[in-house]
Amino acid sequence: MKNSFKIILASAVLLVSLNSCKKSDLNLTPTNDVTAPIVYATPAGYKNSLVKLYATYSLTSPGGSDVSDVGGLNSGFADFLRLFWTSQELTTDEAICAWGDTGIPELDYSTPSVDNQFLRGLYSRSILQITFVNEFLRESTPEKLAERGITGTDATNIQRYRAEARFLRAYQYWVLIDAFGNPPFVTENDVIGKVAPQQIKRTALFAYIESELKAIEPDLAEPRTNEYGRADKGADWALLARLYLNAQVYLGTAKYTEAITYSTKVINAGYQLKANYMDLFKADNNINNPETILSINYDGVNGTNYGGTTFLINAAINGDMNPSSYGVPNGGWGGNRTRANLPALFPDANGTLDKRGVFFGTKAAVDEVGVFTDGLRVTKFKNVTITGATPPSLNGTFSSLDFPIFRLAEQYLIYGEAVLRGGNGGSIAQALTYVNALRTRAYGNASGNVTTLTTDFFLDERGRELYWEGHRRTDLVRYGKYTDASYLWPFKGGVKAGTGLPAFRNLYPLPTADLIANPNLVQNTGY
């Protein structure tokens, strides 16, 4: 899909190039003068518009890295992955940031305000991407295709594009159900601008996401047969497995049997673990990678922004760490590092035994939040290839490393946890096989293999396998440890030793601006 970025940048086809999203309104309409009859006049126009949907995951706007589609948010903060990662990692035991930008300290303390700009940005970004999908779906109905004389194979291809667009929308609604619980809700069937969006309850949104993912399955490509970076049935099943694993949180009703069913579908679909764990996080991870199911793709020259993997790499290193060895010779921003809990999950802090634990520094303890060298730095992500080459990088700062949204390892862990939590259709023996496959890769031999499993083991193993990949807040909430005083980390609740938080903080608040703009919305309890 890296070539697709070149398509979108060269063609400048803007499906819905919005100049702002200040009110986070799901009924936003296009403001550019490139009208739908022009954009969608040909099958190629539909393909380019599909590329636009994917590109909004890795770009802050069609206008480049200095422009934001999300009004009121600095373009450097406006990338989807940067916002999502911040919401999932900075408020947990896995990461802490030294910067004092408005909103970051309260995330470090797990006590974000209603108007936290990063959470508002994530909310707005998710809604904006849903808006793009809704418009694409309105313009790609069978009736619209017939009006434009698009038939045969071209119409069949567009039917697949529609399924992929619906998957991307379902994924964004998953982001919203997980982080905000009860967001505004609009689909392509709602009339634009006539009424304010209705609020959907978490239980109803769960049912919607589930039904969408099941409905589109027949129209998606078979696993591993689509173009790189495009959703297929494997991605569909992977999101369903993740949804079901967290159903107890979202619904109050467990669906571990379903989590086993769909993780098994993914596991049996031909994906394989990549031989070397660290190769998953290098700049040529788009090549010979049978493990990644779907990724957000970045190009360090043709599709740059200050979020994404550019952010993950640069924010975790400083000038004293030889940025050239990380593929960003002019980079190194000195912001994000670990809290002591993360390196403590590994038998050592330098990857000699469990090679997944790759850290830099000598001080694991965080005594001062604003001191970057307090806490070990994560060196998992690098803008270098397996052979050590550095790909072209604009200004020596931007990354071409793709970020895995779903990979096979997560499905192994979903399967195992769901079995231990009582789901039917799986076995502890099979769960052990999957876990030990991950650990054999991590250790290079069977010395780290385990013979028994517990539910709590999977939280720690997810920390070892998936750290800094945007899972941690969701995992801690599922385990009842995100707010509870039974599990602490440095500066949780703003206290150096850590303290418990009120349970309402398991959900983030809806932004004040949207509550004012939309009288149908009710704030989450506690805010």
Instruction: Report the 10 Å Cβ neighbour count for 311.
Output: 24
For 272, the 3-state DSSP assignment is coil
Residue 90 has pLDDT above 50, yes or no: yes
**Distance of alpha carbon 501 from alpha carbon 482, whole angstroms:** 8
Give the confidence band of 8 by pLDDT, cuts at 50, 70, 90. Answer: very low
Tens digits of residue pLDDT in 453-462: 999 999 999 9
Instruction: Report the 10 Å Cβ neighbour count for 106.
Output: 17
How distant, in Å, are the alpha carbons of 277, 278, 302, 389, 456 from that of 386? 11, 9, 22, 7, 34
According to DSSP, the residues that pair with 407 across neighbouring strands are 292
Q: What integer pLDDT is reported at residue 23 of this predicted model?
A: 32
| Region of poorest pLDDT, from 31-45, 213-227, 271-285, 352-366 | 31-45
**Distance of alpha carbon 369 from alpha carbon 287, whole angstroms:** 38
Q: What integer pLDDT is reported at residue 1 of this predicted model?
A: 43
Tokens of 173: 């609604």
Of how many residues is the chain composed?
A: 527
**Dihedral sign, CA of 485, 490, 493, 499?**
positive
Q: What integer pLDDT is reported at residue 55 of this predicted model?
A: 94
Tokens of 357: 């634990």
The answer to whether 223 and 233 are in contact (CB under 8 A) is: yes
Indicate the average pLDDT of the chain: 93
Average pLDDT over every residue of 347-372: 92
Closest CA to 293 of 385, 201, 230: 230
Longest Cα pair distance anywhere in the chain, in angstroms? 66
Tokens of 463: 């920390």
- Exposure string over 3-12, b if 16+ CB within 10 A, otherwise e: ebbebbbeee
Rg for the chain, CA atoms, rounded: 22
Write the DSSP assignment of 99-125 as a string of letters. ---TTHHHHHTT---TT-HHHHHHHHH
Share of the chain above pLDDT 70, in %: 93
Write the DSSP assignment of 343-361 as a string of letters. GGGSSSSSSSSSTT--EE-
Q: What integer pLDDT is reported at residue 278 of this predicted model?
A: 98
CA 527 to chain centre: 25
Average pLDDT over every residue of 464-471: 98
**Distance of alpha carbon 285 from alpha carbon 41, whole angstroms:** 35
Residue 62 has pLDDT above 90, yes or no: no
Instruction: Report the 10 Å Cβ neighbour count for 362.
Output: 8
Q: What integer pLDDT is reported at residue 9 of this predicted model?
A: 36
**Distance of alpha carbon 59 from alpha carbon 134, whole angstroms:** 19
**Distance of alpha carbon 129 from alpha carbon 166, whole angstroms:** 11
Q: What integer pLDDT is reported at residue 349 of this predicted model?
A: 64
Residues 6+ apart with CB under 8 A from 107: 86, 87, 90, 91, 97, 116, 118
CA 222 to chain centre: 22
Owner of token pair 């031909």 = 270
Residue 307 has pLDDT above 50, yes or no: yes
Tens digits of residue pLDDT in 409-442: 999 999 999 999 999 999 999 999 999 999 999 9
Owner of token pair 């790609």 = 140
Owner of token pair 């809704």 = 134
The answer to whether 473 and 466 are in contact (CB under 8 A) is: no
Q: What integer pLDDT is reported at residue 33 of this predicted model?
A: 54
Closest CA to 470 of 54, 171, 210: 171
Helices marked H in 365-454: 408-420, 428-443
For 480, the 3-state DSSP assignment is coil
Give the confidence band of 63 by pLDDT, cuts at 50, 70, 90. Answer: confident
Q: Which helix (H) or strand (E) holds 336?
A: strand 336-337
| Region of poorest pLDDT, from 72-76, 92-96, 264-268 | 72-76
Average pLDDT over every residue of 320-346: 97
Owner of token pair 């679909």 = 269
Q: What integer pLDDT is reported at residue 34 of this predicted model?
A: 62
**Distance of alpha carbon 17 from alpha carbon 30, whole angstroms:** 6
Instruction: Report the 10 Å Cβ neighbour count for 79.
Output: 30
Torsion, Cα 513 519 524 527, to 10 degrees, reads 50
Give the confidence band of 385 by pLDDT, cuts at 50, 70, 90. Answer: very high
Instruction: Report the 10 Å Cβ neighbour count for 93.
Output: 27
**Distance of alpha carbon 267 from alpha carbon 246, whole angstroms:** 19
Tens digits of residue pLDDT in 273-282: 999 999 999 9
Average pLDDT over every residue of 241-270: 98
